[in-house]
Each structure stands twice: as structure tokens, then as C-alpha cells.
Amino acid sequence: MTQLEQVLATSNAAETFKTSVRSYCETGAADHIHVEGFAPRVKVRRLLTQVLATEPELPIERIALRARSGCSDFVGTVQVHTASETRVYEFVWDCRWRAEQEGWTDCFGFPDQIRAAREYDWRCFVRWESVRRAN
């Protein structure tokens, strides 16, 4: 079972949202997941895993994502919608930061971003902060 499937199994998210997560990971598009502009599918998958892992009790129905993707980072905001509220999170996913934290360098002496992204995957969030709730 993949990490995402493990997180989905323990999540209180709506089944329609869980189905959308699986669909998005396979195809890059899904109902209940709105991505403004372009974001690489792998980075959105990491974000979805983070949302589900950090908020397992939330009955998530849909999300809306606004972010920019760099070589080593993914920065933005995500609105997490339930039937009764919307929570907004600001986030920074950064594999360079994780490589620096682990002391990993590549053959050129730079932070080994590839290793960090591969080994830590969705656990490279340097920032995950709830900034607002709305009903």
C-alpha cells in the first residue's frame, strides 16, 4: 500500500474526494480538486497527501489550490472545503531545504534535492500554516 493509500485509509474525507484524489494522481485532473493555473501533478499529489495526513479528522469535500512551482519548491495557498467550513493554509514544500536539514549533498557539493524529494516525498513541507477559517 502506498503512503497516499495509507493516508486515505485513515482520513475522514468524503469518499467523493478520495476518489478525486486517486483520479488526480492518475490523470492530472479530477472533480473536487481545482488547481489555478499550472502545477506539476507530483507536487499536487504531495500537497494532497499533506492535507489528508495533517487533517485526518476533516470531512474534506473539495480543495482549491493556488501555487507557484520552482525547481526545488512549491509555494502557495490551499482552501480546504468541508460542508460546514473552509480552512486556508499557506505552505512551502522545499526539497532543497530538506536536503540541507539532512546534510545531503550531491557530487557537486550542492544540496541533494533529488534524494530529498525521492526519500521524503510529501514530508518536505518547511511551512504548513493555517491562516484562516470561514463558515
The Cα angle at residue 22 between residues 19 and 23, in degrees rounded to 5: 85
Tens digit of each residue's pLDDT (9 = 90 or more) over 22-58: 999 999 999 999 999 899 999 999 999 999 999 999 9
Nearest Cα to 100, choosing from 117, 114, 112?
112
Contact 61, 83 (CB under 8 A): yes
Query: pLDDT-based confidence at 105, cuts 50/70/90?
Result: very high
Burial class (CB in 10 A: 0-12, 13-18, 19+), 119: middle
User: What is the pTM assigned to this prediction?
Assistant: 0.93
